[in-house]
Amino acid sequence: MHDFDLTPPSPAQRDALIAGLTGEEKRVLLQHGTEAPFCGVFLDNKLEGVYTCRLCGLPLFRSSAKFDSGTGWPSFFAPFDPAHVHEIRDTSHGMIRTEITCARCGSHLGHVFPDGPPPTGERHCLNSVSLGFTEEGQPLPNPLHREGAEAGTA
């Protein structure tokens, strides 16, 4: 497993990253919004590679863990590294769910449910606008200009 620097971006770095977001990306990533089902750019993506945090570039999910859940959002049965995704109890909308956020920058990604396929039984249900994608063999995004694994390839 690669070691990625999980130190949060500095306030100046965070402001610079946020400045590059669209209104919809800000609504989902920063205000815990949800994109409409069946419209996300990564729902039907079949390419091999790594899904990263749209804001800070941290690797979150591998394409090899992606599956068609039929829910209308990209779904994965396991994260790239469990340390890269934080789980938070979410009681909004009159139900109890588990929200998932980027462990480095805190951006809202989606939710995780206990109804996924083997081997984990988990369904990490993601908003496409919360993600970037790096095709296998290409350099991973490194918007924070970090050393080590950050400068590697997918």
- The set of catalytic residues is 125
- Rg of the chain's alpha carbons, rounded to an integer? 15
User: Is residue 15 within a helix (H) or strand (E), and if so which, with residue range?
Assistant: helix 11-19
Does the annotation list 39 as a binding residue? no
Q: Phi and psi dihedrals of 42, rounded to 5?
A: -100, 0
CB neighbours of residue 38 within 10 Å: 10
Report d(CA 7, CA 22) in Å as an integer: 24
Report d(CA 120, CA 92) in Å as an integer: 26
Binding residues: 53, 56, 102, 105
Binding residues for Zn(2+): 53, 56, 102, 105
